[in-house]
Amino acid sequence: MTRLEIPRPGQVPFSLEETFALTLDAADPLHRFRREFVLPGREGGQPIAYFLGNSLGAMPRGARAEVEQVLEVWQRYGVEGFTEGSAPWATYQEGFRDTLASLVGARPGEVVTMNTLTVNLHLLLASFYRPEGSRVKVLMEDRAFPSDSYAVSSHLRLRGVDPATGIVVARPREGESSIRPDDLVALIAEQGEQLALVLLGGVNYYTGQCFDLAAVTAAGHRAGAVVGFDLAHAAGNVPLALHDWGADFAAWCSYKYLNGGPGAIGGAFIHERHGGAPALGRLAGWWGNAPASRFLMRPEFEADQGASGWQISTPPVLSMAPLRASLALFAEAGFTALRQKSESLTAYLEALVLGIPGNPVRILTPPDAAARGCQLSLHLPGRGRWLHQTLREQGVVTDYRDPDVVRLAPTPFYNTYHEVWRAGLAIRRAVCP
């Protein structure tokens, strides 16, 4: 076999041969979970290599049954479905709350499934962005997801702060694509008493960089700031320990690595030290009221304890049903095993790309496994969109972002080593015809 040495110490060399990929798949203890997902195909039933878990996760095979079960209860019980059946709607999320809490490193009472990502960010910003005196600024990363920037800018304006001066942007050094961890911590310290909030993406959607959230949380709190995270690209992708890190809040969507379906319900984390704090304001709604008095219909709001007290409206159970199916698979597979495979798949793809002779493709994602999830962002100046389309024509489905960046997410639940090999071969053929 022709072997390709990864130019980093401690890594097992990967082979360029197809048989090597097939051997890895045959030995993969998680390979059986691929059958638990319905993967997209081309017309005529031809399979595709779907590398879009960072955009929309594949459909869990059990999602249909979960949705149909909700419909059956609706048909049979009507409104009494809130209290009847094997999974009553009023407590529906209790059936998967523990698994979700485990995935983000929280205690069960610190997480809640509700709304969608940016709605949750708005609710959390209303509680946790509290400018006072000179402490008005919000620190974000360069190329934060646009919706985060929109949300933060709107809250600054509502409080009379100009986003042009109120948002501090952490950027990579000239000529680099990732933000150095020490630079990020130093910037937080530099802003000091002007900083009200640190809000970062756990994994940056554009570059795939995973930030050291423990260090960020500690630095933010030393500066006297509140610290929160957008975990859209981190939940179900990278190890998280929100409670132990002491993060104040976080929000995420469920349609990427959590496989909850298009526009799926989101989630939120509020550290337990805030969960029962009466002085912490919020935008209240009736489902956030304590269950014991919720149906007494009193005009006074009595907040439920923990993250549940930030709920606004009746839970959209049909939207929760596919997520319930996916989280059951996470519980069965175990996140440690999924993460190990994720690191291996991503390193394999990286090795195949780095091994292209005269390679014109630049990898924007950090080479350190601890500083990335299962995503590689490839930059091909002037030809990124062309590369994206060329790969698609060969049955390798990726994501494109301007300018000239192709993103691939080898997702451990359903992507295989052979698909990674196919992607590497397709990229090689495209850029080295």
Chain segment 64-95, per-residue pLDDT in tens: 999 999 999 999 999 999 999 999 999 999 99
240/355 Cα distance (integer angstroms) = 32
Percent of residues in the chain assigned helix, strand, coil, to nearest 5: 45, 15, 40
- Looking at residue 5, its pLDDT comes to 36
With a cut of 50, say whether residue 3 has pLDDT above it: no
**Cα angle, residue 185 at apex, residues 174 and 347 outer, rounded to 5°:** 65
CA 373 → CA 224, 242, 368, distances in Å? 29, 17, 10
Tell me how far apart the alpha carbons of residues 260 and 263 are, in angstroms, rounded to a whole number: 8
Residue 233 makes CB contacts below 8 A (sequence gap 6+) with 54, 201, 202, 203, 204, 205, 208, 256, 257, 373, 375
230, two tokens: 């957008």
Binned at pLDDT 50, 70 and 90, residue 42 comes out as confident
Residue spans per domain, the chain: 3-38+334-431, 67-330
Is 3-38+334-431 a CATH 3.90.1150.10 domain? yes
The yes-or-no verdict on residue 265 having pLDDT over 80 is: yes
Contact residues for 24 (Cβ-Cβ < 8 A; gap 6+): 344, 348, 417
- In this prediction, residue 127 has a pLDDT band, given cuts at 50, 70 and 90, of very high
Long-range contacts of 131-134 (CB under 8 A, 24+ apart): 131/159, 131/161, 131/196, 132/196, 134/193, 134/194
Q: Write down the pLDDT at residue 277.
A: 77
pLDDT in tens, 350-409: 999 999 999 999 999 999 999 999 999 999 999 999 999 999 999 999 999 999 999 999
pLDDT of residue 261: 98
Q: Pick the catalytic residue: 51, 96, 255, 269? A: 255
Fold of 67-330: Aspartate Aminotransferase; domain 2 (3.40.640)
Is residue 11 over pLDDT 70?
no
Banded model confidence at residue 278, pLDDT cuts 50, 70, 90: confident
Q: What is the pTM of this model?
A: 0.95
Active site annotation includes 255? yes
Instruction: Return the exposure string of 114-126: e unless at least 16 CB atoms fall within 10 Å of the residue's CB, then b.
Output: bbbbbebbbbbbe
Question: pLDDT at residue 8 above 50?
Answer: no
Q: What is the token pair recorded at 167?
A: 């948002």
The runs of H, that is alpha helices, within 111-161 are: 117-128, 146-158
Overall residue count recorded for the chain in this entry:
433
- Which residues make Cβ contacts (< 8 Å) with residue 398, sequence separation at least 6? 51, 52, 388, 391, 392, 406, 407, 408, 423
For the question of residue 407 being annotated catalytic, the response is yes
Please tell me the distance from the alpha carbon of residue 46 to that of residue 41, in angstroms, as a whole number.
Answer: 6
- Check 97, 256, 341, 428 and give the catalytic one: 256
pLDDT digits (tens, 9 = 90+) for 165-188: 999 999 999 999 999 999 999 999
Classify residue 331 as exposed, middle or buried by CB count within 10 Å of its CB (0-12, 13-18, 19+).
middle
- pLDDT grade, residue 229 (50/70/90)? very high
Please tell me which residue in 96, 129, 229, 230 is annotated as part of the active site.
Answer: 230
pLDDT reported for residue 2: 43
| DSSP 8-state assignment for residue 198 | E
Please pick, among 137, 407, 422, 428, the residue that the annotation labels catalytic.
407
Local confidence band at 10 (pLDDT 50, 70, 90 cut-offs): very low
Say which amino acid occupies 408.
L
Name the band, by pLDDT with cuts 50, 70 and 90, for residue 1: very low
171 is known as an active-site residue: no
Whether the CB-CB separation of 335 and 258 falls below 8 Å is answered with no
The angle subtended at Cα 130 by Cα 127 and Cα 133, nearest 5°, is 170
Mean pLDDT of the chain: 94
pLDDT at 9: 32
CA distance 97 to 341: 25
Q: Which residues on adjacent β-strands are paired with residue 308?
A: none
Q: Which of 14, 33, 145, 413 is catalytic?
A: 145
DSSP type of residue 110: G
Residue with tokens 């993060």, as numbered in its chain: 247
300: which residues sit within 8 A by CB, 6+ positions away?
Answer: none
Q: Which residues contact 304 (CB under 8 A, 6 or more apart)?
A: 288, 289, 290, 291, 311
